[in-house]
């Protein structure tokens, strides 16, 4: 076996001028040269007329046979998987694929390879799940393509071959400067060796690329600007070795991109497994080999740094390599194995299955306790309303209350909402791996199975058995360390403390009490359900959000779309946060309907009370309908003194249009382009947004006419032109209609351009539009469904901003805080004139419950000063979003005011090319960081910011800080 490159020598010294000479003399190629980074070789990209190549001047350590093997492997991969991008060797003028050239008195091997187009992932901080999956796929394809490749040059000793990993890490660890780090490398290497020893003989061996890392996969950019790996370069580490080494190397390279979520690598592992089905032994050793790869990287990186301190491609990655090593090491091998098995849909490891079987035979831990009350601490618990989940001591208090008449227990595997944290970037540790029990004092506790007592102290003990290590804390032990117990032997009794019970099937593994959503699948294998010990089913119900989504797809209209490709399941909201069923809390930046916040107890109580008393319709005489109408009139501008109550924004707009048509005796209506007003026949008719209906403009009825979208950022008139331009244009449309003998019944627009992402209308715009409409006897409708009701902070109504008074105001959304409620507010004269079409009746519009909901929302907005809050927090949010523009050119504009804003993303601030794909990808990334935000606008390139009006300054800062991070680190 060759022993190359173990004694690493520095890269050959070759200047650009020398490289140019080599390219010309050996290959007859001339062109611009650019040096590419390399640990050991000198590589130059050479651009000739229409052709790109890579001139590779190999380290003298390489044997010719090794280079021949690499060439043959590239040709082999191209044959086996022609669609996979990989370099190919090009013949020199003398016909050879490997030439040589004398440099500084030494003959060095020279090759010219084709250049694989695309970019590597180098320098990208964050890698999205789809990108990680692509990386795993490229690694898997390369590995599959090499499965039947053979060459005598494959058998060599190279430092990156993980079969030599222990030897290399041990040999080179002396170069590590920091003694603590040096110790970690040695310790990790020994742990790896101990773990993999039993499996090495069973590991498949073949030719592997050995270096399919973020640096060595390349691909095109997708629409969102992310590199999507499609090819692999650099066959320099080609070797015959364990096949799984290929995947271990790939996984390790991902870790520094996702230091807070090591299991993001599962996307790569799944993709690799789909190409190369992993064996049992391979799954067992994968994580240890990831750690070993990390150890080898840092040991050789430090070694190389000593030899070649001026080489930036050695020095720069070193800290990342340490990060990979420490992230890999932070995951226990057994946890990784259980998690990978789960992700690949494989059964439990045999030893874990045996332990679970032993556990199912266990006896009762408290034989004298007949019944245990089971406490629900999940996000759907009835006992965690009104923010109770946030109170310190809630778990203990609820458990004590549940145990009032005996004993009570929490559930295993439950994602406890009490463990959730708001505005947290990291996934919270919410999944209970054990249970907490409240027992009557002195309740006897017995061994549920035979075992040996370990580490007993005043309040805890461990019992080692064939089922695993049972840990009890919060009891009064009656046995000593080393005691050998039979099943049913007494081990202690309950004291005053809460008893915590947890079992780990891995005898030596330290376990946390709670796991994150990402690690829960693995940890609950290692710390299984303990139901047999209690004679009761204490396992939390399984929550399969994906299966539920399938049910939705099968029975609910699919065009009633959902946010996110793989949505989290959300069953709980509290104020400005949403909580998913994994008990992750998200800052909710989009729910303007929940204006006073989610789960408001005052609203819930009021609706509950009214529902128990009476819910009927407005043909009956009850107080709430009068009270709500009075309150709305009091909020409306003088003259608008009459209210119609309906169930939604669409209904309100529909009714307003109908009123206008009846009252004026005309049919035609002027609306602005790119607007959304609702789904009913009439409200849809004036909806011109192509985002919702790409055929909108072709399919509008003949009575609908359009003015330009008054968008001074990207519309027909911009900047200084906008003020005059739009005002003149809308007046011309309205005047033109009248001149053609069809004067408009109504002009309808939002007073802040909501569908464009909260774009403020140019000053004087509605003044001009309303004047033109009224000139010809038409009515003016302000659609305040989104922007009214105090959200703008500095005014209650959007039309105040424009200094106009409409003839009709339509409202909904915030009005019922999600309860279906809408209204038209108009003048008595207009309302009465509508009676030409008889009376008006809506069965649930204005019902007692609806009216009480509407009144309570108004009370809360007033009592909690939510409009003022929208002004303060909105101003702050706006200022901070604006400040991001200096460092992030992707932000083209910040629209809106108060808590109605849009952050518009553009690829170019001059062309305003919308960054649509980026916007969606950023929203996905923001969700990972604990924020719900969604694209809006005609081009879906605006981040819509219209959170519950109780958003706090800290929430606004959290949002902006995370947006800043995402824009900096990528998506
Ligand atoms: N008008 C505007 C401005 C809206 O934004 C909407 C809803 N997005 C509607 C009307 C329709 O309201 P609803 O969905 O309650 O029918």
Ligand 1 geometric centre to CA of 47 (Å)? 56
Name the residue of 785, 791, 808, 938 whose CB sits within 8 Å of the most ligand 1 atoms, as the mutation to test its pocket. Answer: 785
DSSP 537: -
Average pLDDT, the chain: 95
**Predicted confidence band at 855 (pLDDT cuts at 50, 70, 90)?**
very high
Ligand 1 geometric centre to CA of 806 (Å)? 18
List CB contacts of 681: < 8 A, sequence separation 6 or more: 654
> What's the rounded mean pLDDT across residues 188-205?
97
Ligand 1 geometric centre to CA of 809 (Å)? 13
Name the residue of 560, 590, 653 whose CB sits within 8 Å of the most ligand 1 atoms, as the mutation to test its pocket. Answer: 653
Residue 8: predicted pLDDT: 54
Q: Whose CA is nearest to atom 12 of ligand 1?
A: 649
Instruction: Considering only residues 11 and 296, tell me which one the structure prediction assigns the higher pLDDT.
Output: 296
Ligand 1 geometric centre to CA of 584 (Å)? 29
Task: Kindly report the backbone phi and psi dihedral angles of residue 147, in degrees, each rounded to the nearest multiple of 5, phi listed first.
Answer: -55, -40
Name the residue of 813, 900, 946 whose CB sits within 8 Å of the most ligand 1 atoms, as the mutation to test its pocket. Answer: 813
Instruction: Please give the C-alpha separations between residue 324 and each of 244, 295, 327, 496, 638, in angstroms, as whole numbers.
Output: 18, 9, 5, 45, 67
State the closest ligand 1 atom to the C-alpha of 653, by its place in the atom list counted from 1.
Answer: 10
Ligand 1 geometric centre to CA of 747 (Å)? 17
- pLDDT digits over 106-144, tens only? 889 999 999 999 999 988 999 999 999 999 999 999 999
Residue 9: predicted pLDDT: 64
Residue 3: predicted pLDDT: 47
State the closest ligand 1 atom to the C-alpha of 784, by its place in the atom list counted from 1.
Answer: 3
Element spanning 743, H or E: none
State the closest ligand 1 atom to the C-alpha of 683, by its place in the atom list counted from 1.
Answer: 10
Residue 314: predicted pLDDT: 76
Residue 904: predicted pLDDT: 98
- Label residue 501 exposed, middle or buried (CB < 10 Å: 0-12, 13-18, 19+): buried
Total length of the chain: 971
Instruction: Please give the C-alpha separations between residue 358 and each of 361, 468, 825, 869, in angstroms, as whole numbers.
Output: 5, 9, 70, 58
Q: Whose CA is nearest to atom 13 of ligand 1?
A: 649
Highest mean pLDDT range out of 89-103, 292-306, 855-869? 855-869
- pLDDT digits over 223-234, tens only? 999 999 999 999
Residue 5: predicted pLDDT: 44
Among 939, 924, 660, 932, which residue's Cα sits nearest to residue 778?
660
Helix axes 129-145, 243-255, angle to 10 degrees: 160
Residues paired with 471 in a beta bridge: 462, 502
Is the pTM above the cut of 0.75?
Answer: yes
Instruction: Please give the C-alpha separations between residue 860 and each of 458, 648, 870, 871, 899, in angstroms, as whole numbers.
Output: 52, 20, 14, 16, 17
Among 202, 162, 414, 391, which residue's Cα sits nearest to residue 299?
162
Least confident of 1-5, 883-887, 892-896, 916-920: 1-5
Least confident of 95-104, 378-387, 666-675, 878-887: 95-104
Ligand 1 geometric centre to CA of 476 (Å)? 62
Q: Whose CA is nearest to atom 4 of ligand 1?
A: 677
Element spanning 205, H or E: strand 205-208
Ligand 1 geometric centre to CA of 310 (Å)? 63
State the closest ligand 1 atom to the C-alpha of 820, by its place in the atom list counted from 1.
Answer: 15
Ligand 1 geometric centre to CA of 717 (Å)? 26
**Predicted confidence band at 789 (pLDDT cuts at 50, 70, 90)?**
very high
Ligand 1 geometric centre to CA of 753 (Å)? 13
Ligand 1 geometric centre to CA of 937 (Å)? 14
Ligand 1 geometric centre to CA of 368 (Å)? 60
Q: Is the pLDDT of residue 1 over 70?
A: no
**Predicted confidence band at 653 (pLDDT cuts at 50, 70, 90)?**
very high
Q: Is the pLDDT of residue 2 over 60?
A: no
Which residues does a 6 A CB cutoff place in the pocket of ligand 1? 648-650, 653, 676-678, 750, 754, 783, 785-786, 812-813
Query: Could you give the 3-state DSSP secondary structure of residue 954?
Result: helix
Ligand 1 geometric centre to CA of 962 (Å)? 29
Name the residue of 677, 680, 687, 946 whose CB sits within 8 Å of the most ligand 1 atoms, as the mutation to test its pocket. Answer: 677
- pLDDT digits over 800-812, tens only? 999 999 999 999 9
> What's the rounded mean pLDDT across residues 155-180?
92
State the closest ligand 1 atom to the C-alpha of 822, by its place in the atom list counted from 1.
Answer: 15
Ligand 1 geometric centre to CA of 609 (Å)? 28
Sign of CA dihedral 281, 284, 290, 296: negative
Q: Whose CA is nearest to atom 2 of ligand 1?
A: 677
Q: Is the pLDDT of residue 12 over 90?
A: no
Q: Is the pLDDT of residue 206 over 80?
A: yes
State the closest ligand 1 atom to the C-alpha of 650, by its place in the atom list counted from 1.
Answer: 16
Residue 50: predicted pLDDT: 76
- pLDDT digits over 66-111, tens only? 999 999 999 999 999 999 999 999 999 999 999 999 888 888 999 9
State the Cα angle at 447 between 443 and 452, rounded to 5°. Answer: 135
- pLDDT digits over 369-421, tens only? 999 999 999 999 999 999 999 999 999 999 999 999 899 999 999 999 999 99
Q: Whose CA is nearest to atom 10 of ligand 1?
A: 677
Name the residue of 649, 798, 936 whose CB sits within 8 Å of the most ligand 1 atoms, as the mutation to test its pocket. Answer: 649
Name the residue of 653, 674, 678, 757 whose CB sits within 8 Å of the most ligand 1 atoms, as the mutation to test its pocket. Answer: 678
Ligand 1 geometric centre to CA of 757 (Å)? 14
How many angstroms separate the CA atoms of 394 and 615, rounded? 35
How many angstroms separate the CA atoms of 185 and 169, rounded? 7
Residue 916: predicted pLDDT: 98
Residue 125: predicted pLDDT: 95
- Label residue 753 exposed, middle or buried (CB < 10 Å: 0-12, 13-18, 19+): buried
Q: Provide the 10 A C-beta neighbour count for residue 319.
A: 12
- The rounded percent of the chain whose pLDDT value lies above 70 is 99
- pLDDT digits over 228-263, tens only? 999 999 999 999 999 999 999 999 999 999 999 999
Ligand 1 geometric centre to CA of 25 (Å)? 72
Name the residue of 686, 786, 934 whose CB sits within 8 Å of the most ligand 1 atoms, as the mutation to test its pocket. Answer: 786
Residue 483: predicted pLDDT: 96
> What's the rounded mean pLDDT across residues 654-659?
98
Ligand 1 geometric centre to CA of 652 (Å)? 9
Helices (H), 443-542: 517-526, 531-534
- The rounded percent of the chain whose pLDDT value lies above 90 is 92
Among 128, 136, 133, 112, which residue's Cα sits nearest to residue 51?
112
């Amino acid at each position: 076996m060759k022993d190359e490159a173990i004694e690493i020598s520095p890269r050959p010294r070759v200047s650009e001028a020398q490289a140019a000479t080599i390219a010309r003399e050996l290959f007859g190629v001339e062109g611009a040269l650019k040096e590419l980074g390399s640990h050991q070789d000198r590589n130059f990209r050479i651009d000739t007329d229409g052709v790109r190549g890579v001139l590779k001047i190999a380290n003298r350590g390489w044997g010719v046979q090794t280079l021949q093997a690499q060439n043959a492997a590239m040709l082999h991969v191209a044959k086996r998987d022609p669609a996979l991008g990989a370099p190919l060797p090009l013949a020199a003028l003398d016909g050879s694929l490997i030439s040589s050239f004398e440099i500084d008195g030494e003959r060095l091997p020279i090759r010219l390879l084709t250049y694989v187009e695309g970019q590597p992932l180098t320098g990208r901080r964050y890698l999205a799940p789809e990108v990680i999956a692509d990386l795993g796929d490229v690694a898997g394809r390369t590995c599959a393509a090499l499965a039947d490749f053979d060459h005598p040059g494959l058998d060599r000793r190279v430092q990156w071959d993980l079969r030599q990993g222990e030897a290399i890490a041990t040999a080179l660890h002396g170069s590590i400067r920091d003694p603590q780090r040096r110790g970690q490398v040695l310790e990790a290497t020994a742990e790896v060796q101990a773990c993999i020893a039993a499996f090495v003989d069973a590991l498949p061996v073949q030719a592997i690329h050995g270096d399919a890392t973020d640096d060595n996969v390349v691909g095109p950019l997708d629409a969102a600007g992310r590199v999507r790996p499609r090819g692999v370069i650099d066959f320099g580490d080609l070797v015959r070795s364990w096949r799984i080494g290929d995947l271990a190397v790939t996984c390790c390279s991902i870790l520094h991109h996702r230091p807070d979520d090591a299991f993001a690598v599962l996307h790569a592992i799944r993709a690799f497994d789909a190409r190369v089905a992993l064996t049992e032994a391979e799954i067992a050793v994968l994580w240890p080999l990831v750690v070993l790869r990390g150890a080898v990287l840092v040991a050789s990186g430090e070694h190389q740094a000593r030899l070649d301190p001026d080489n930036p491609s050695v020095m720069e990655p070193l800290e990342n390599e340490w990060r990979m090593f420490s992230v890999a090491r932070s995951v226990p091998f057994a946890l990784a194995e259980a998690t990978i098995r789960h992700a690949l849909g494989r059964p439990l490891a045999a030893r874990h299955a045996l332990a679970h079987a032993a556990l199912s035979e266990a006896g009762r831990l408290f034989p004298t306790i007949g019944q245990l009350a089971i406490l629900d601490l999940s996000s759907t618990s009835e006992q965690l309303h009104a923010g109770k989940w946030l109170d310190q001591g809630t778990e203990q208090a609820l458990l004590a209350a549940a145990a009032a008449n005996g004993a009570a227990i929490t559930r295993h595997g439950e994602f406890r909402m009490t463990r959730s944290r708001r505005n947290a970037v990291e996934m919270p540790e919410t999944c209970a791996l054990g249970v907490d029990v409240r027992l009557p004092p002195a309740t006897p506790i017995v061994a549920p199975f035979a075992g040996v007592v370990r580490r007993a102290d005043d309040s805890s003990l461990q019992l080692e058995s064939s089922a695993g290590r049972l840990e009890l804390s919060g009891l009064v032990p009656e046995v000593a360390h080393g005691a050998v117990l039979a099943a049913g032997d007494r081990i202690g009794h309950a004291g005053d403390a809460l008893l915590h019970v947890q079992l780990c099937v891995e005898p030596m593994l330290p376990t946390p009490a709670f796991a994150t959503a990402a690690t829960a699948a693995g940890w609950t294998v290692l710390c299984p359900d303990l139901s047999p010990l209690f004679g009761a089913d204490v396992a939390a119900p399984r929550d399969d959000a994906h299966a539920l989504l399938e049910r939705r797809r099968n029975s609910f209209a699919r065009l009633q779309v959902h946010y996110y490709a793989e949505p989290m399941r959300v069953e709980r909201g509290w104020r400005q946060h949403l909580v998913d069923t994994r008990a992750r809390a998200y800052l909710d930046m989009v729910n303007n309907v929940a204006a006073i916040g989610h789960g408001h107890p005052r609203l819930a109580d009021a609706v509950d009370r009214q529902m128990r008393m009476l819910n009927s319709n407005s043909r009956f005489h009850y107080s709430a309908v009068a009270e709500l109408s009075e309150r709305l009139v009091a909020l409306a501008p003088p003259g608008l003194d009459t209210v119609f109550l309906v169930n939604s924004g669409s209904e309100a707009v529909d009714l307003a249009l109908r009123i206008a048509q009846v009252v004026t005796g005309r049919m035609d209506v002027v609306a602005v382009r790119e607007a959304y007003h609702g789904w009913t026949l009439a409200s849809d008719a004036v909806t011109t947004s192509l985002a919702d209906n790409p055929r909108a403009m072709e399919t509008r009825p003949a009575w609908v006419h359009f003015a330009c979208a008054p968008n001074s950022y990207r519309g027909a008139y911009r900047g200084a032109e906008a003020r005059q331009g739009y005002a003149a244009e809308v007046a011309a449309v309205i005047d033109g209609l009248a001149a053609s003998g069809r004067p408009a019944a109504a002009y309808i627009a939002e007073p802040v351009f909501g569908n464009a992402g909260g774009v403020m209308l140019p000053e004087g715009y509605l003044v001009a539009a309303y004047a033109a409409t009224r000139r010809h006897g038409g009515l003016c409708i302000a659609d305040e469904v989104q922007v009214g009701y105090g959200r703008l902070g500095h005014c209650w109504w959007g039309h105040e901003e424009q200094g106009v008074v409409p003839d009709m105001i339509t409202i909904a959304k915030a009005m019922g805080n999600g309860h279906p409620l809408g209204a038209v507010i108009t003048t008595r004269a207009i309302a009465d004139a509508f009676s030409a079409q008889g009376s008006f009746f809506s069965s649930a519009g204005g019902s007692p419950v609806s009216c009480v909901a509407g009144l309570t929302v108004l009370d809360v907005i007033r009592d909690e000063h939510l409009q003022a809050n929208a002004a303060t927090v909105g101003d702050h949010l706006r200022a901070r979003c604006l400040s991001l523009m200096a460092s992030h050119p992707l932000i083209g504009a910040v629209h809106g005011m108060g808590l109605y804003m849009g952050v518009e993303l553009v690829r170019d601030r001059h062309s305003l090319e919308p960054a649509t794909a980026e916007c969606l990808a950023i929203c996905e990334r923001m969700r990972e960081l604990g924020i719900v935000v969604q694209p809006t606008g005609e081009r879906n390139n605006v981040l819509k910011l219209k959170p519950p009006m109780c958003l706090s300054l800290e929430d606004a800062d959290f949002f902006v800080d995370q947006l800043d991070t995402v824009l900096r680190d990528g998506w």
